Structure 1
Amino acid sequence: MEIAFLVHKNLTSTLSHSEKSELERWLSESEENQFLFQSIENFHNNGGDISALTELNAEDAWKKVMLRYTSNKKVNKHGMLQGTYKYAAILIIALAAGYFYWSVNFKSGKVVEEMVQSQQGIVLVLDNGEKIEFSSSDQQELVDKQGNKLGQRSGRQLNYTHNETMDELVYNTLTIPNGQRFDIILSDNSHVYLNAGSSLRYPVTFLPGKKRQVYLQGEAFFEVSKDKDHPFVVTSDNMDVEVLGTKFNVSAYPEEEDISTVLVEGSVKVNANQSIDLDQDHSLLLIPGHMAQWDKKSKSAQMEKVDTDQYTSWMQGKLVLRGMKFREIIKKLERHYGVIIDNKNESLNNRTFTATFDVESMEEVLNTFVSETKFEYRIEGKQITILNNQNQESPMK
């Protein structure tokens, strides 16, 4: 049975027992399949049209995949494309927005980034596609449409430690907009602090005999409960961080060139995951006070000793910049303050700055940079425009 049809049916109606087993088998084949399913699920939950999945002709679709991916295809010892990759590629091209929209945009993180920037509040998407946008209420019990208790929200925290026991993996996805932070206590009592502009996909309940795996886009600090029989794995793009029990920070924003892992306590192993083929082992065993950086382009990793406070201070609401280029600072300011910055003064892009901000307003932060290098800016609500020095528009500061 076509996986594309099962994905559509899972998101729009109810699967039979045999259909559910087939879909679960496909999801278990690879992390790429799981990521693609989440991609389509998020697209659907945000109003995207997935009707093309029901009309997909696998052979025609595969021909288009071959035309697009000839230079990137994965070949096994029999000269045939790997089956899981074939399924994954078929799903990529199934969306009506364009055959290669997902391969170009979502897998680069662009879709998630735009979704995070556009949403106003914190959004939880349940496994069945139901979407819950958190209100201003401090207390909120989370239940699905069948009345099953999933978790308890209290203020800026979501707690899954007292949810109802489940015998299958059921995933929730929590998306945090720019300008906000949130934290989750998972069913094993592991604590995850999510930074602004981040998204985490995680099981409602971890199951015996299976690794504790979550999927991160953005930045989060993890305090993992020890369980030697069930390793905890954080998957971000092509990088896995595997631990038994420890405290560490992972930064994996889609638009950034590197994925970084900073270890505060314990030990972690950083690996390139199975979604890419490498000629040699790319894994690092971190010790406290060190950071591993994975370069997405070169697919290489390196480790260095760092001041961990610099990379975890965001949990206290601080924004620490150390020798950072202004074009990179803009992204951090957008996430931290929940604003959109249009920099028309390109001469600023490669200027480096070192600063720490805590309770300063957005205008006070901009004036700090102005004191170092003169430029003019205009603030209109959440839209900030940094003017070109030759621009004749009058600034409103």
Structure 2
Amino acid sequence: MEKVENKIERIIAKSFKGELDSKEQDFLDQWISMSQENKRKFGIYEKLWKRSGELLLSNTIDIEQSLLKTKKRIPDFRFKRRTRFGNFRVAAVFILAMGLGFLINYLLGGNDLIDGTPQIVYQEVRASYGTRTKLILADGTNVWLNSGSTLKFPIDFDNVEERAVELNGEGYFDVTKNESKPFIVNTSGLDVKVYGTSFNVSAYEEYDSMEVALVEGKVSLVQGVKGDRKEYMVLNPNDVVECNISEKRLSRISDSKMNKYTSWKDGQMIFYGDPIAKVVSRLEKWYNVDIEIRDKALENYRFTATFNDESLEQVLKLLSLSSPMEYNIVASTKQNDDSFSRRQVILSIKK
């Protein structure tokens, strides 16, 4: 039978990879709550993992064994000062076992640069196509990432004046209030500045527009850096603002149906009288496909529907039943580098 110590070490390692099932999660939660010592040990493990700076490691690296070997090199799980040679050996374990490239001084607990300026270390999380990912930032802010989206963020907000993160894609934010440290979502278009609120941002870099939908609280659309930042618009609850980036044009509406903009985090796609262009952009990201609107006449049609985990074929079939649209799905093809192209969908008017 597996020893409790070995089991908890294995489960802790799996928890950092997001691979726990419900029983393992319950076991971990119970173990942490049993004593302050268990809680402390888990905190040390968590710090080691966060300081690795790598959420996506090579598949050839055995993350569980690397974490356990690293733990064994640190007596009683404590960060202690050692001789210069000992410090180098601990850092080498991190670098070789986990494929890291951080400074030895940072791994040992210091996070200052040589000139004494605080160093900000970032992590990056990506939601694979067809999936959604939830994460909790160091300040307690909850973030949901939609399919194909990426968020870059500091591992903590201790040495910053603003809690700035960088989004490429779509994210729903439930921001922890902190009036002394505003929360900034940087995108390829405008930035979103908040102090504590819930809102949705859709800002994929490959599209020429971005959209912000405010659920509650107050946010402003800004551009520039602290001390030289221009404010373009302040949003109130139920406000939805679309920004045409190339034309530098903002348009605002008030929409009480906010679930249309936020339901994706619960696995739904909802359309309320949306034009085909809006439907296409959502489907492309959700199913990782390229969609071509072959007939411009389709741009005159609007669609209302709710989808719950249907396949691409099912969604297209349902949309075609409510309009004169027909579709053709072109299968993926193998490329010269042995990768496969994305499937292509061609939309046209029924003959």
TM score, norm. by length of structure 2: 0.59
Partners of 2:173 and 2:307 in 1: CA distance:
23
Larger Rg: 2
Partners of 1:193 and 1:323 in 2: CA distance:
25
* Aligned position for 1:36: none
1:352 positional shift: 2.8
Q: Is the 8 A contact 1:264 1:308 kept in 2?
A: yes
Give the count of matched residue pairs.
Answer: 247
1:298 positional shift: 2.7
CA root-mean-square deviation: 3.8
Q: Is the 8 A contact 2:276 2:299 kept in 1?
A: yes
* Aligned position for 1:317: 267
Q: Is the 8 A contact 2:218 2:237 kept in 1?
A: yes
Amino acid corresponding to residue 236 of structure 2 in structure 1:
I
- Work out whether 1:383 is the aligned partner of 2:343: yes
Partners of 1:299 and 1:387 in 2: CA distance:
30
- Work out whether 1:369 is the aligned partner of 2:324: no
Is the alpha carbon distance of 1:223 and 1:389 closer, same or farther for their aligned partners in structure 2, counting shifts above 3 Å? closer
| Alpha-carbon displacement from aligned partner over 1:304-358 (angstroms, at most 9, x marks no partner) | 2112111101111111223333244222112112334455455435533222212
- Work out whether 1:208 is the aligned partner of 2:162: no
1:207 positional shift: 2.3
1:217 positional shift: 1.0
- Work out whether 1:360 is the aligned partner of 2:285: no
Is the alpha carbon distance of 1:369 and 1:213 closer, same or farther for their aligned partners in structure 2, counting shifts above 3 Å? same
Greater shift, 367-376 or 260-269, is seen at: 367-376
Partners of 1:228 and 1:282 in 2: CA distance:
17
Report matched runs for 1:1-397 at 5 Å: 131-132=56-57, 147=94, 166=111, 168-274=119-225, 282-306=231-255, 307-345=257-295, 347-371=297-321, 372-378=323-329, 380=331, 383-386=343-346
Unpaired runs of at least 5, structure 1: 1-125, 149-163, 392-397
Unpaired runs of at least 5, structure 2: 1-50, 71-90, 96-108, 112-117, 333-341
Q: Secondary structure at the match of 1:375?
A: strand
* Aligned position for 1:108: none
TM score, norm. by length of structure 1: 0.53
Q: Is the 8 A contact 1:271 1:284 kept in 2?
A: yes
Q: Is the 8 A contact 2:201 2:213 kept in 1?
A: yes
Is the alpha carbon distance of 1:186 and 1:165 closer, same or farther for their aligned partners in structure 2, counting shifts above 3 Å? farther
Amino acid corresponding to residue 383 of structure 1 in structure 2:
R
Q: Is the 8 A contact 2:189 2:203 kept in 1?
A: no
1:251 positional shift: 1.0
Q: Is the 8 A contact 2:189 2:210 kept in 1?
A: no
* Aligned position for 2:105: none
Partners of 1:140 and 1:241 in 2: CA distance:
41
1:262 positional shift: 1.3
Partners of 2:324 and 2:350 in 1: CA distance:
15
Partners of 2:92 and 2:259 in 1: CA distance:
42
Amino acid corresponding to residue 271 of structure 2 in structure 1:
L
Amino acid corresponding to residue 285 of structure 1 in structure 2:
V
1:386 positional shift: 2.7
1:230 positional shift: 1.2
Q: Taking every aligned residue pair, what percent have the same amino acid on both sides?
A: 30
Is the alpha carbon distance of 1:387 and 1:310 closer, same or farther for their aligned partners in structure 2, counting shifts above 3 Å? closer
Partners of 1:177 and 1:331 in 2: CA distance:
16
1:376 positional shift: 4.3
Partners of 1:387 and 1:301 in 2: CA distance:
29
